[in-house]
Chains A and B, each alone.
Chain A
Amino acid sequence: MSKFGFWLQRVTQVLIVLLLVTFGASLLLRLIPVDLATILIPNGSESEREILRTEIGLNKGPIGYYLQWLGNFVHGDLGKIYFSGGTETVSGHLAKAMPRSLLLMAYTQVLALSVAIPLGVISAYRAGRRTDRIISNVLFVMSSIPGFAIALILIIVVGVKLAWLPTLGYATYSEGIWEHFKHMLMPVLSLSFGLIATYTRLLRADMIASLREDYVTMAMSKGLSDRRILWKHVFRPSSITLFTSAALSMGGLIGGAIVIESIFATYGVGFEIFVAIAGRQYISLQSCVAVIALFYVFFNLIVDIGSGFVDPRTRDRRVNV
């Protein structure tokens, strides 16, 4: 198959998956055993509910409802949040929440990578020795501790006992860069904790494999310094796997961020979902899930295409996926 045909097939696959995910979400909504309009506006009158039903297409049957939702979604209308009287739109909320979530993720990735890269290089260099064993064991324990546990312990120790950092809320850049980072530090630490372990283990395994390559023996026999070989000849090819996995972990990060964002009340997309569930705003929930799935799937696709360009070796590996 031609290269173009391959990518066309991948993109079609992704679009089909997205359509099915969103259809599944809207079908799920229609499965609620009680009347959706009553849940969305519990204090509204029957005539208001009737208007709502026509407005969002609840009177149309599952497929009609989905098509109307999809049409609106494509045009950027993600529905409304009704508990505030129906004046606030989901897209307005997301426009505010999305940058915060993206910042949170960017900081998390930067922190996780900047700790994991040196650790991974050291433990690959000292593979099997004491340093490596200690790092590996500590990381194994770290990878098993969930982020919310770290978050709660940080709140107790750093937030309450020492009172160094605020335990709730978010500050924008305009409220002061120092305030901004003070609010972000604990969420970022809790999110990056598990990632550091994952990245280090991955980099270590990949670098140990690279160290066995002939060109490393060649470089060693030329008398290049260990440091130069490690960074220039071994880290560079291995880093592709690392960055691919970092990009792929964005999806999991969105999921993990829901708990962390709701614990710290960082008003990101995860917190938006939390609010939608607590306030039973299921239209908002449906649209938020769709947006997250959209991000997630397209991220994977971009990584897939991108890594094929960067490292041609990976292209052949994915025949049966």
Chain B
Amino acid sequence: MFNISKFTKPTWLSVSWLGLMLFLAVFGSLLPFKSWKFVYENDLGVVPFSPGHILGTDNNGYDLLVSLVAGTRMSVFIAITAVSLGGLIGSALGITAAFVRGKVDTVMSTVFNVGLAVPNLVLALALVSVLATNVDINQAVPTWRRVMVLIISLTIVLIPILGRIARGATLSWSGRDFVTAARSMGMRDRKIIMKHIVPNVLPALIAVAFLAVGVVIIAEASLSILGVGIPDGASWGGMIARGRNDLEYSPHVLYIPIIVLAITVISTNHLGDVIRASLDRRESKV
């Protein structure tokens, strides 16, 4: 699936960019920074490349590099958790449905269709806003609860999308001769799924999972812009939402998270495409 010697320049760039983002997400807290909520009272709205603030500060006095590292941590964490959970649950359901067929398949397909009948963002929005409701409108929902709710909602959005892909891929593999052969030799269903179906379905799922990471990152940002995501700026979307207030006087507050977000989504989409293209080549050889 990954043939490193065949990587083109854009592929290398994407891999390194995503590596950098992962690094910041995992080790960002070890960097010698003050808390991202530290206010530099004398440096409000400083432009990028100023001494002391490489990416500048916003009009509240937050340093943007520090915010960005904290935001990367949050956005990457949400994206990876939601995609892994959605991928695991979705593929388990999809593979089972396609392998067992019959009533289970009908029920599963209906459930997937119900999920797909509502546009992604509308579904996520409805879930987030309902799950993160407080009685008192003036009392803020704590950030950890918002993060949990976001992850749960985005996972629910992803399950039918990834589940349907897994179901389709399983359908095309479970009819092949080697599966029939394994069955005729008395292999257990569970073992057939683990040994013959999963390894073949996995590459297609990984390709879609890369695209799904992009979808989740954009969805998180959209929800934050709508005011139901991460409110106080601790994610890329949160930074964009907060930067909208400074739009007129310090547009760089908006440009920085937008550029980082866009490059990340371009990278994940590109890698998804590369994996899918290599799959297509393998398929045409079979």
Contacts and interface: CB of A to CB of B under 8 A. Distances in A.
Interface residues of A, number: 53
Contacts of B121: 255-256, 258-259
A35 B133 CA distance: 10
A285 B114 contact: no
A246 to B, nearest CB: 16
Given A144-B266, A277-B226, A20 B258 contact: no
Given A28-B127, A140-B270, A255-B120, A39 B133 contact: yes
B258 to A, nearest CB: 5
A20 B114 contact: yes
B251 A255 contact: no
Interface string A14-48: 00111011001100110111110011001000000
Given A39-B135, A145-B262, A252-B120, A259 B225 contact: yes
B134 A34 contact: yes
Interface string B128-145: 011101110100000000
B261 A160 contact: no
Contact of A17 (B114, B247, B251): B114
B247 to A, nearest CB: 6
A274 interface: yes
A301 B75 CA distance: 36
A149 B262 CA distance: 8
Nearest to B222: A259
A125 interface: no
Interface stretch (A55-63, A115-123, A231-239, A288-296): A288-296
B126 A285 contact: yes
Interface stretch (A68-76, A151-159, A182-190): A151-159
A82 interface: no
Interface string B141-170: 000000000000000000000000000000
Interface string A260-283: 001100000000011001101010
Which among B110, B119, B133 has the greatest number of chain A C-beta atoms within 10 A? B119
A33 B119 CA distance: 25
A21 B110 CA distance: 11
B112 to A, nearest CB: 10
Interface in B187-201: none
Contact of A155 (B127, B131, B247, B273): B247
A32 B133 contact: yes
Contacts of A282: 130
* Main secondary structure on B side of the interface with A: helix
B135 A320 contact: no
B119 A292 contact: yes
Contact of B119 (A25, A39, A143, A251): A251
A296 B120 CA distance: 12
Contacts of B228: 277
A21 B214 contact: no
A262 B131 CA distance: 21
A274 B126 CA distance: 10
A90 interface: no
Contacts of B258: 149, 152-153
B221 interface: yes
B82 interface: no
Given A28-B127, A146-B221, A149-B261, A273 B114 contact: no
Interface string A163-186: 000000000000000000000000
Contact of A24 (B114, B133, B221): B114
A162 interface: no
A243 interface: no
Given A144-B262, A320-B171, A278 B133 contact: no
A127 interface: no
10 contacts: A21-B117, A21-B118, A39-B135, A144-B214, A146-B261, A152-B240, A152-B244, A156-B254, A160-B251, A277-B227
Nearest to B138: A42
A33 B125 CA distance: 17
A28 B131 CA distance: 9
Contacts of A20: 110, 114
Interface in B255-276: 255, 258, 261-262, 265-266, 269-270, 273
Interface string B214-240: 100010011001111000000000001
Contacts of A292: 118-119, 122
Interface in B17-73: none
Nearest to B171: A320
Contact of B265 (A21, A146, A160, A255): A146
Contact of A156 (B119, B171, B247): B247
Which among A146, A251, A320 has the greatest number of chain B C-beta atoms within 10 A? A146
A293 B251 contact: no
A156 B225 CA distance: 16
A297 interface: yes
A262 B225 contact: yes
B269 A289 contact: no
B118 A289 contact: yes
B110 A17 contact: yes
Nearest to B237: A148
A140 B11 CA distance: 13
B172 to A, nearest CB: 10
A225 to B, nearest CB: 34
A320 B265 CA distance: 32
B125 A273 contact: yes
Contact of B117 (A34, A280, A296): A296
